[in-house]
């Protein structure tokens, strides 16, 4: 009986050992570069600007979006690449660029609001991006959809990215 109890204690100790590991201590090579900071960087929808947008009424939001669309090349953002693919000339969105990049900001920038991007760019720029890596881009807003009734709330942005590059530092 004492042998079975000893084996049970050893098994329990071994089973609970992984629970004591600090899961926040990621290896250095897995950490995102310090330049990737969608909440605090000087972006169109950083934490401060997203809070202003969140507090606007519907009419103010429409005017704000119209102003963003009219200001060519003024939109700035950061996200993590999810996927990328070329667009054929017959695809309607190819007027914005012949390469499409899907990107997301997985951690909420403000409250529970998440941001998804559909970026259109040149094939040479899009193919140079690191899969699942952080990118920074600038361009012109094409469309914006804010799902304020969903949980979590979601901001879906379509951007014609004139400049898009990997964030390495």
Helical (H) or strand (E) element with 139: strand 134-147
Q: Considering Cα of 132, then 137, then 142, then 148, what sign does the dihedral take?
A: positive
Strand pairing partners for 142? Answer: none
**What's the start-to-end Cα distance of the chain, in Å?**
59
Distance CA 104, CA 155 (A): 10
> Domain coordinates of the chain in residue numbers?
31-166
Which tens digits make up the pLDDT trace of 46-91?
Answer: 999 999 999 999 999 999 999 999 999 999 999 999 999 999 988 9
Identify the CA nearest to 118 among candidates 74, 159, 65, 73: 159
pLDDT tens digits along 130-140: 999 999 999 99
Name the CATH topology of 31-166.
OB fold (Dihydrolipoamide Acetyltransferase, E2P) (2.40.50)
């Amino acid at each position: 009986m004492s042998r079975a109890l000893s084996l049970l204690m050893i098994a329990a100790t071994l089973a609970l050992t992984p629970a004591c590991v600090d899961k926040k201590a990621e290896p250095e090579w897995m950490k995102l570069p310090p330049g990737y900071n969608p909440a605090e960087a000087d972006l169109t929808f950083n934490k401060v600007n997203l809070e202003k947008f969140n507090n606007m009424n519907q009419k103010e939001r429409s005017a704000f979006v119209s102003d963003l669309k009219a200001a060519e090349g003024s939109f700035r953002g950061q996200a993590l690449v999810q996927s990328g693919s070329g667009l054929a000339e017959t695809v309607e969105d190819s007027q914005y660029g012949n390469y499409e990049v899907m990107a997301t900001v997985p951690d909420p920038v403000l409250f529970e609001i998440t941001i998804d991007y559909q970026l259109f760019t040149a094939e040479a720029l899009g193919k140079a991006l690191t899969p699942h890596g952080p990118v920074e881009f600038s361009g012109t807003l094409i469309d914006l959809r804010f799902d304020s009734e969903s949980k979590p709330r979601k901001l879906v942005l379509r951007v014609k990215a004139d400049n898009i590059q990997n964030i390495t530092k």
